[in-house]
Amino acid sequence: MDKSPVESIFLGTCSIYPFLSKMISRLPILLLSAQLAFGQQSGFNTWPAYGGDPGGSRYSSLKQINKGNIHALKEAWTFRTGELETYEGTNAVEKAAFEATPILAGNTLFFSTPSSRVFAVDAATGKQKWLYDPKVDLKKHYSEITSRGVSVWPTERNSKNKNVKRRIFIGTIDGRLIALDAQTGRTVESFGNNGTINLREGIGDDISMTSPPAVIGDIIVAGSSMGDNYKSDFPRGVVRAFNAVTGKEMWHWDPLASDTARKTGAANAWSVISVDEKRDLVFVPTGCASPDYYGGNRPGDNLYANSVVAIHATTGKVAWHFQVVHHDIWDYDIAAQPMLIDIPREGKKIPAVAVGTKMGYIFILDRITGKPLFPVEERSMPASDIVGETTSSTQPVPLLPRPLGLQKVSVSDAWGFTPELKKRGEERITRYVNKGIYTPPSLQGTLVTPGNVGGVHWGGMCYDHDKNILYTNINWLAAIIRLVPREKLEEDNKLDNERSMRAETGMQFGTPYVMKRDYLFEISGNDWMIQTAPPWGTLNAINMSNGHDKWQVPLGFMVDTVKYADARKWGSLNFGGAIVTAGDLVFVAATRDGFLRAFDSGSGEMLWESMLPAGGQATPMTYQVNGKQYVVIAAGGHGKFLTKMGDYVVAYALE
């Protein structure tokens, strides 16, 4: 290979200095190594973790695919998992959701399916290398049938163990943490009990894992998932750390340790935990204490529930916490991965944590102290009229960035395709209570805005480190929450049947009330109509230099675009996140219409879309192998979201 002009000058000049000449001759290699190390730490050049990098910024510095050539992006390969065959003889398809984001280690992609099966495929060709099946019994009851992905250890940042065989870690929906040999897919028998740790042992059979464990140094940190509307005394949402080599428990942290006298549980971390290895910190997003919609058994703020908690990874000691909801009775879990970013301030970069919430609030916190970097104020909120319930008199509200999504509903917000449908919406809105965000559940029924699907949902946010722009997709949907005295449930069920009312029921055993949950929309055939004025789903960009909005555009559609000419202006409910690249592109699927799309990250203009073979309720990822950049997404549908089911992983590249 011919030398570059710069190499020629340096090598010629330094020939009389053998040592210096040798070092400079290695400079390109050293620079490349440094670049790769930086990229793998920050998610810039590859995709080694669910969120792109350990801090979940979902950013790639790759720009082979860019806004100038995005029109030439075509399907490169498709892989099928055969997942639907595993559901035969069960009702799993009704709950299953293929929400995984693959990770890249070497030239191999690793990902999991809803039933917690793990695949390794060649990143360039999509050819299967191995499959591991934990043989989850899908005939048993699970609150969620999903797995958002796997984790790899040791990471490229782990210099101490760089020669150790890689392991892939999967948390299963039946409560196991399993270590697999990344080369063969076989269990690592030296870890735990022949490769497995039973996470339910000593805690309870309600424990599942739906998100990948966090990896920091030689420590694996695992949260848990549970269906916390069923009863008040669910297991505690204990977070546990294990030695990555042996599986020995190093520490555990109970978010409800101060509530031992109260009949409550959960406050679990079911979403993705973020990692700052330099500072020995993991950032744990917690959910609501159980049950979600009545807190009479758990008075007070419920410390550490609905919080981001920074924990020292080596000791398990809490460094700080920030609670985003006091005494949650709206199912406002922190569903999105806390995103570790740097905020520009007075010529400096301040290490920060961006916390996206179902309320549509985004809290920007100092990563070292937990203090807000944009103003947050405690505002008075409506009180509950439910006997036994005492709501918090105030809730924290960020002044910047501004709230996103549906914050309040009145009759003037009613909407419909026709005057008759609009009138139905008006009548329905009139029937229920809404005093704005944090209106408590009621016997009459409350319009909760935003509903429990967000705002910002589990798909999370992404961040362009160079431009200091945060991107997130948002749902605009009100939930209808009604509390029914337990002794009147049978009578209430009869009335619902007579009115042909649909409602999801949460029994909330151990409390005086059963919860019924519905949403402010109608379904007619394949058309979903929200009964409030659009937009119903948006993609948003926020300038983190000042906290102000940059742009907002509708995301997708969920009604017939031939029948309704403006359908693309209305947006769609969405599940799954976005990623941003240095090619000035934001990639996102998530919507009901089945498309993967690319937007201009500077303007929000949609530049490209491709129909997926099944619902794309997952977050895409991107990487480069053999000189070619790929964009990959899981397309398997979402049972509860009623999108087309499938078993696909689809890769795109330039022609």
Q: Model confidence over 25-34: pLDDT tens digits?
A: 343 334 333 3
Residue 70 is given by DSSP the state G
Q: Model confidence over 493-532: pLDDT tens digits?
A: 998 887 767 789 999 999 999 999 999 999 888 889 999 9
pLDDT at 549: 97
Secondary element (H or E) of residue 428: helix 419-431
pLDDT for 633 beyond 70:
yes
pLDDT at 37: 37
Give exposure, 522-544, as e/b (b: 16+ Cβ within 10 Å). Answer: beeeebbbbbbbbbbbbbbbbbb
The C-alpha atoms of residue 618 and residue 626 are separated, in whole angstroms, by 26
pLDDT at 525: 81
Q: Model confidence over 18-27: pLDDT tens digits?
A: 333 333 334 3
Tokens describing residue 492: 């209430």
pLDDT for 594 beyond 70:
yes
Q: Region 481-493: what's the mean pLDDT?
A: 96
What single-letter amino acid sits at 572?
Answer: S
Q: Region 227-254: what's the mean pLDDT?
A: 94
DSSP string for residues in 548-578: EEEEEEE----S-TTT-TTHHHH---B-S-E
Q: Model confidence over 349-369: pLDDT tens digits?
A: 999 999 999 999 999 999 999
Chain centre to alpha carbon of residue 387: 35
Q: Are 575 and 638 in contact (CB under 8 A)?
A: yes
Spatial neighbors of 34 by CB under 8 A, at least 6 apart, are none
Instruction: Supply the mean pLDDT for the chain.
Output: 91
Count of residues in the chain: 655
Secondary element (H or E) of residue 120: strand 118-122
pLDDT at 24: 33
**Angle, to 10 degrees, between the axis of helix 18-25 and the axis of helix 5-13?**
160
pLDDT at 35: 39
Spatial neighbors of 144 by CB under 8 A, at least 6 apart, are 95, 97, 173, 208, 210, 225, 227
Q: Region 192-207: what's the mean pLDDT?
A: 95
Q: Model confidence over 120-179: pLDDT tens digits?
A: 999 999 999 999 999 999 999 999 999 999 999 998 777 677 778 999 999 999 999 999
The C-alpha atoms of residue 437 and residue 551 are separated, in whole angstroms, by 23
- Torsion-angle region of residue 228: left (phi > 0), alpha (psi -120 to 50) or beta? alpha
The C-alpha atoms of residue 317 and residue 319 are separated, in whole angstroms, by 6
DSSP, collapsed to helix, strand or coil, labels residue 71 as helix
Q: Which domains does the chain have, with CATH numbers?
A: 1-42 (no CATH), 43-654 (2.140.10.10)
Neighbours of 2 (CB within 10 A): 6
Q: Are strands 585-588 and 595-600 parallel, antiparallel or unpaired?
A: antiparallel
Q: Are strands 446-448 and 479-485 parallel, antiparallel or unpaired?
A: antiparallel
Residue 489 is given by DSSP the state H
Spatial neighbors of 45 by CB under 8 A, at least 6 apart, are 35, 36, 39, 60, 61, 62, 624
Span of 12-16, 181-185, 221-225, 375-379 with lowest mean pLDDT: 12-16
Spatial neighbors of 259 by CB under 8 A, at least 6 apart, are 289, 298, 302, 303
Cite the active site residues: 331
pLDDT at 596: 98
pLDDT at 229: 85
Residue 24 is given by DSSP the state H
The C-alpha atoms of residue 582 and residue 654 are separated, in whole angstroms, by 16
Rg, Å, the chain Cα set: 25
pLDDT at 21: 37
pLDDT at 423: 96
pLDDT for 13 beyond 60:
no
pLDDT for 230 beyond 50:
yes
Percent residues over pLDDT 70 in the chain? 92
Q: Region 85-102: what's the mean pLDDT?
A: 96
